[in-house]
A and B are shown apart, each in its own frame.
Chain A
Amino acid sequence: MTRISDFIEMKIPAKPEYVGVVRLTVSGIANRLGYTYDDIEDIKISVAEACTNVVNHAYKESSKEPVILITCGIFADRMEVSVTDQGGAVDVNSLKNGECPVQPDMVIEELREGGLGLFLIETLMDKVEISGDSGVMIVMTKFLQRDGVGQDDNRISTELPKQ
């Protein structure tokens, strides 16, 4: 277990135009930490997917001000990015799938335009945890070296912010 060395927090309006800002910021942090070009792209896409889900779904039935909280925990061997909304409780199990949404034997009509986001996050990141309380929190981990230690460590360091 490595100790957290730095912690970064961002709170943005849950609007499409800010997702690119988060992407750029997280990309800058990952670049600073020495991730490879490919890993940075994976992190960028995953964080953008998580934010996009919040923008598209989280606050549909909520009267709360639509915000996204993004935190970034920096460790010696990994980076943990969490994306949290306060849009209300959802059944987090209904969000988890894991199966590729597009199958080769599918006919065109069966294809869904949505639902690829979470699948991509799970594919591109090393570890993904989804939890929910007053909203959805997704914690995504990317290790600096894939063969590094700590991969079996299932604990997460970020907690759902209390408001």
Chain B
Amino acid sequence: MNLSVNVQEEQGTAVVYLAGEVDVYTAPALKETLLPLTEQSSTTVIVNLSDVTYIDSTGLGIFIGALKSSGKAGSKLKITGANVRVKRLFTITGLNEVLDIEEDQREEV
């Protein structure tokens, strides 16, 4: 029941690697890291969800907050690596319509 948040920044791009579970307990750490990154104008923030095993509405709420903040600051927010389960939540909630979610290369069944 942990979440690790690692950031790699270079030349106007920040990649946020998440691993573990995003829920009401772990989400504050994600918010603390993600929001300041999206507040930098002309930055592209890429959130890599490849190693996320669980996410719920608290995590989705963080992405909505990050999207708002990037809209204000003029940065970009992208989400990559979501597995089928995680992607399903984005689809059910309609967030796939408003968030930039990159299709995963690996086709999972």
Q: Which residues of A contact B (CB under 8 A)?
A: 16-17, 19-21, 23-24, 38, 41, 44-45, 48-49, 51-52, 55-56, 100-104, 106, 108-109, 111-114, 116-117, 119-120, 123-124
Q: Are A104 and B94 in contact (CB under 8 A)?
A: yes
**Which residues from chain A contact B58 at a C-beta distance below 8 Å?**
52
**Which residues from chain B contact A116 at a C-beta distance below 8 Å?**
57, 60-61, 93
Q: Are B68 and A101 in contact (CB under 8 A)?
A: no
What is the bound-complex CA distance between A56 and B71, given in angstroms?
27
What is the bound-complex CA distance between A109 and B64, given in angstroms?
10
Given contacts A52-B23, A52-B24, A102-B64, 13 further A-B contacts (CB under 8 A): A16-B24, A16-B25, A21-B1, A51-B24, A52-B57, A56-B24, A100-B94, A102-B93, A109-B71, A111-B68, A116-B93, A119-B93, A124-B92
Task: Tell whether A111 pairs with B23 under 8 Å between CB atoms, given A45-B56, A48-B56, A52-B58.
Answer: no
Q: Does B46 contact A (CB under 8 A)?
A: no
Shortest CB–CB separation between residue B32 and chain A, in angstroms?
14
Nearest B residue to A17 via CB reads: B25
**28 pairs from A and B in contact (CB 8 Å cutoff):** A16-B23, A16-B24, A17-B1, A17-B25, A19-B25, A20-B1, A24-B1, A45-B89, A48-B23, A49-B57, A51-B24, A100-B92, A101-B93, A102-B98, A103-B94, A108-B67, A108-B68, A108-B71, A111-B67, A111-B68, A113-B62, A114-B57, A116-B61, A116-B93, A117-B57, A119-B93, A120-B57, A120-B89
By DSSP majority rule, is chain B's interface helix, strand, loop, or mixed?
Answer: helix
What is the bound-complex CA distance between A151 and B52, given in angstroms?
34
Near A by CB (< 8 A), chain B positions 9-35 give 21, 23-25
What is the bound-complex CA distance between A52 and B92, given in angstroms?
19
What is the bound-complex CA distance between A111 and B69, given in angstroms?
12
Q: Does B74 contact A (CB under 8 A)?
A: no
- Residue from B1, B56, B93 with most neighbouring chain A CB atoms (10 Å): B56
What is the bound-complex CA distance between A106 and B23, given in angstroms?
25
What is the bound-complex CA distance between A111 and B89, given in angstroms?
16
What is the bound-complex CA distance between A124 and B92, given in angstroms?
9
What is the bound-complex CA distance between A14 and B98, given in angstroms?
32
Q: Are B24 and A44 in contact (CB under 8 A)?
A: no
Nearest A residue to B97 via CB reads: A104
What is the bound-complex CA distance between A24 and B98, given in angstroms?
31
B24, B64, B71, B85: the one contacting A112 at CB < 8 Å is B64
**Which residues from chain B contact A21 at a C-beta distance below 8 Å?**
1
**Which residues from chain A contact B62 at a C-beta distance below 8 Å?**
113
